[in-house]
Amino acid sequence: MANHKSALKRIRSNAAKRLRNRYQAKTTRNAIKKLRNTTDAADAKVLLPRVISMLDRLAKKNVIHKNKASNNKSKLTKLVNSLS
């Protein structure tokens, strides 16, 4: 158990950040799955910018690596372009 006041606060803040990161990462994964399962080109073109924004946000906050975000964005963009 932590002995310092600042260490106790760090434990609390880390737990809150962990929950927020898990929620945002899971939401992004679900959005990616929804985009991959979309067969309609119009729907896909609407979803793509939202998913890209989510990926950029996760990469900016170091929840996922920036290269992983780039790879996902590239693959999803190719997928959407192939639908049209």
Cβ-based neighbours of 48, under 8 Å, separated by 6 or more: 35, 76, 77, 80
For the chain, what is the domain count?
1
Q: What confidence score (pLDDT) does residue 26 get?
A: 98
How many whole angstroms separate alpha carbon 26 and alpha carbon 38? 19
pLDDT band at 21 (very low <50, low <70, confident <90, very high): very high
The CATH code of the domain that includes 20 is 1.20.58.110
Domain that holds residue 56: 5-83
> 49: left (phi > 0), else alpha (psi -120 to 50), else beta?
alpha
In the predicted structure, residue 84 carries a pLDDT above the cut 80? no
Using only C-alpha atoms, what is the Rg of the chain?
17
pLDDT cut 70: percent of the chain above it = 100
User: For the segment 28-57, what is each residue's pLDDT rounded down to a tens digit?
Assistant: 999 999 999 999 999 999 999 999 999 999
pTM: 0.87
In the predicted structure, residue 60 carries a pLDDT above the cut 80? yes
CA-wise closest residue to 84 among 41, 39, 43: 41
How many whole angstroms separate alpha carbon 2 and alpha carbon 12? 11
